[in-house]
Structure 1
């Protein structure tokens, strides 16, 4: 699997390739605000994993495997964002999003997807959830987080 930084590179390469743009490592480095050396290392890793074809002084091309992975990553990110919207999670949203991206299994993401699709089909559920979450809960499952010293 790809690290989160390699995921960013792959998604960016995919989007540029879909626009028909020629992709150069120096331009990619600039656009992602990363040092050229780190960008080249990332490209070499993705080339080794067969997500892209990277040759020095040649435009970068994305493989079919890379396209499939990029599509999955984009859809996963959109799913997580929609799920966090449903939960009305605003505090530490980016950290929560990154944690979910890194640690949820594909099976767990499929369950999240079923829930999100269910909520889409029955939008009144969101309204009921919002009313419910505004009230003081009488029944609790989660114990309070102990304070750190």
Structure 2
């Protein structure tokens, strides 16, 4: 399993590969805005986990397993972003997205996907939800959070 930082490296590698760029550790370090040594360590860990083929002074190659994982990670990010857009989350959206990417189980993500597909199939439900958001609802499941604790 990849850590969040290794996930970012893998997605970066995949996007560079898709853009027909040669995968060199120096270019990846630059793209990720990280020191070369830290990038090399990340690449070595991904090589050990069989997501890439890494050899010093040689262009990198993403394995089939790495490509499959990168596609999943990119799709997961898009799904979560679509879900947050549906919820009309605006404050700290990127932070929320990153937290959800790390902590939601595959089962939860599958159910979010089904929920989003349901909303695409029945746009009137989405419209009603957005109308509800605009109303000031008095009945709530969560008690109000103190003002000084809100982000």
The verdict on a shared fold, with TM-score over 0.5 as the criterion, is yes
Q: Deviations over 1:69-103 (max 9, x none)?
A: 00100000000000000000001111111110111
Q: Deviations over 1:14-61 (max 9, x none)?
A: 122223322100011111111001100000000000000000011000
Q: Deviations over 1:122-142 (max 9, x none)?
A: 112221111111112132111
- Work out whether 1:128 is the aligned partner of 2:128: yes
TM-score normalised per structure 1: 0.94
Corresponding residue number in structure 1 for 2:73: 73
What is the CA–CA distance in structure 1 between the aligned matches of 2:131 and 2:31, rounded to whole Å? 43
What is the CA–CA distance in structure 1 between the aligned matches of 2:144 and 2:138, rounded to whole Å? 14
Corresponding residue number in structure 2 for 1:57: 57
Corresponding residue number in structure 2 for 1:104: 104
TM-score normalised per structure 2: 0.93
What is the number of equivalent residue pairs in this alignment? 148
In structure 2, runs of 5+ residues without a counterpart are none
Tell me how large the CA RMSD over aligned residues is.
1.2
User: Which 4+ stretches in 1 moved above 2 angstroms?
Assistant: 18-21, 143-148
4-13 vs 53-62, greater mean Cα deviation: 4-13
Corresponding residue number in structure 2 for 1:82: 82
